[in-house]
Amino acid sequence: MASYTIHYRLSHANGALVDEAWDEPMVFEMGDGQLDPCLERCVLEAKPNELQTFLLSASEAFGDSYDEAFQVMQRADFPQDLSLELDAAVEFKTPTGDSYVGCIDSIDGDNIRVNFNHPLAGADVSFQVKVIKGA
């Protein structure tokens, strides 16, 4: 696998910062899962030692938001000691042991609506990257 060292900033198109590795560079191997594949493609396209900005539409980045990814669950489906708050991320385990993270979208009594879309689904993003060392 190809190893890269980068500085980056990931922001919503409106400028709100989502994540960054600016003070300390990020070291990763292409395909190791630390960066989403859409961001890995930008790293591959970036010129070494040059700060570049990639503007990605929702469909190019983390995909569109799908209504099917929202699920209404009952309060009893959550651990009793878990404090349920809007926008809180909650990890769920399937019977096969897989893990999925969903964000609480709404709370209506005992009905808890959970969004299983990627947190950036439906959002245009800006990805600034400077490749310090690559491949």
Alpha carbon distances (Å) from 28 to 1, 7, 13, 51:
10, 11, 25, 18
Low-confidence ranges of the chain (pLDDT < 70): 135
The predicted pLDDT at position 15 comes to 86
Burial of 45-74, coded b for 16+ CB within 10 Å and e otherwise, reads: ebeeeeeeebebebeebbbeeeeeeeeebe
51: tokens are 């700060």
Domain with CATH 2.40.10.330 in the chain: 67-115
pTM for the whole thing?
Answer: 0.75
The predicted structure's pLDDT at residue 80: 87
pLDDT of residue 130: 97
pLDDT, residue 100, reads: 87
User: What pLDDT does residue 14 have?
Assistant: 84
Fold of 3-63+121-134: Chitinase A; domain 3 (3.10.50)
At 94 the pLDDT is 84
Predicted confidence at residue 57, as pLDDT, reads 95
Name the fold adopted by 67-115.
Thrombin, subunit H (2.40.10)
**CATH 3.10.50.40 in the chain, residue ranges:** 3-63+121-134
> What per-residue confidence (pLDDT) applies to 17?
92
- For 63-75, write each residue's pLDDT tens digit: 999 999 999 999 9
